[in-house]
């Protein structure tokens, strides 16, 4: 299956194509229904820390088996809903630290 077919499948399953581009291939990133970000061209998940720093996640093992990735995903969901600036900074810093592990 090529990138266009994967992208179409993602859209049919409720994903949203974002304006953010993959740092590896420069193609659009899709936001999946579960909140994860995914590049259909690279066929990998992506975590956007801020507009200038993007870390790709190796999809060689399922995310369910990686507790750090699960924690980052949970914190990212909290970050999306948070309105307190101090809490936003705290969550972002925690996510950044977890990604360095």
pLDDT tens-place string over residues 65-92: 567 777 877 888 887 788 888 888 888 8
* 3-state class (DSSP) for residue 52: coil
* 3-state class (DSSP) for residue 49: strand
Q: Identify whether residues 8 and 40 lie together within a single domain.
A: yes
Q: Identify whether residues 17 and 53 lie together within a single domain.
A: yes
Q: Identify whether residues 32 and 46 lie together within a single domain.
A: yes
Q: Identify whether residues 6 and 50 lie together within a single domain.
A: yes
Q: Identify whether residues 23 and 55 lie together within a single domain.
A: yes
How many angstroms separate the CA atoms of 2 and 44, rounded? 13
Q: Which residues pair with 45 in a beta bridge?
A: 38, 57
Q: Which residues pair with 56 in a beta bridge?
A: 46
> By percentage, how much of the chain surpasses pLDDT 70?
81
| Structural domains of the chain, count | 2
Average pLDDT, rounded, for the chain: 78
Instruction: List, edge to edge, every strand of the sheet that includes 37-39.
Output: 16-21, 28-31, 37-39, 44-50, 53-57
Q: Identify whether residues 6 and 51 lie together within a single domain.
A: yes
Expressed as residue numbers, the domain containing 101 is: 61-101
């Amino acid at each position: 299956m090529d990138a266009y077919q994967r992208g179409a499948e993602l859209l049919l399953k409720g994903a949203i194509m974002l304006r953010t581009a993959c740092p590896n291939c420069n193609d659009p990133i899709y936001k999946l229904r579960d909140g994860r970000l995914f590049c259909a061209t690279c066929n990998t998940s992506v975590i956007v820390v801020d507009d200038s720093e993007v870390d790709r996640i190796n999809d060689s093992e399922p995310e369910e088996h990686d507790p750090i990735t699960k924690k980052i995903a949970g914190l990212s969901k909290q970050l999306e809903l948070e309105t307190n600036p101090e809490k936003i900074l705290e969550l972002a810093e925690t996510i950044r630290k977890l990604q360095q592990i």
